[in-house]
Amino acid sequence: MKSLDELKKIRDEAKKNLELRDSEKTIRVVVGMATCGISAGARPVLQSFIEEVQKRHLKEVQVVQTGCIGMCTYEPIVEITMPDKEKVTYIYMDVDKVKRVVAEHLVHGRAVREYTIGYKK
């Protein structure tokens, strides 16, 4: 950090990230971030959700992390809950899948079934 402007920029970015954790949001994205999730690539998945939600200005979406979800072999795991809808559990997530899930599920309300647990072709 070399200037006050740089410090302000860092503060503003941190504030944006904290806004995504607001418990008053109606849509909740939960990324499993236990050791198993992190080793499978959950960190970039979490960051990608944060970036996509911010980029699309999805004010009603809360992005949070949790510990072990209990299905380590399916990591990275993401759970999405929406009011009056069944929870959707996405498995083997990666950054490319995040973009599609945000576009189809968070924006249009349609789960991407082929990324979910229990999906049969």
Whether 74 is covered by a domain: the verdict is yes
Whether 17 is covered by a domain: the verdict is yes
Domain range for 20: 4-115
Whether 120 is covered by a domain: the verdict is no
The residues pairing with 78 across neighbouring beta strands, listed in sequence order, are 31, 90
pLDDT at position 13: 76
Whether 99 is covered by a domain: the verdict is yes
pLDDT at position 72: 94
Whether 111 is covered by a domain: the verdict is yes
pLDDT at position 112: 97
In the structure, what pLDDT confidence band is assigned to residue 17 with cuts at 50, 70 and 90? low
* Percent helix / strand / coil, the chain, rounded to 5: 45, 15, 40
CATH number at residue 108: 3.40.30.10
In the structure, what pLDDT confidence band is assigned to residue 50 with cuts at 50, 70 and 90? very high
pLDDT tens sequence across 54-87: 999 999 999 999 999 999 999 999 999 998 899 9
Whether 121 is covered by a domain: the verdict is no
Whether 72 is covered by a domain: the verdict is yes
Distance CA 15, CA 36 (A): 28
Prediction pTM value:
0.79
Number of domains in the chain: 1
Handedness of CA 62, 66, 68, 73 (dihedral sign): positive
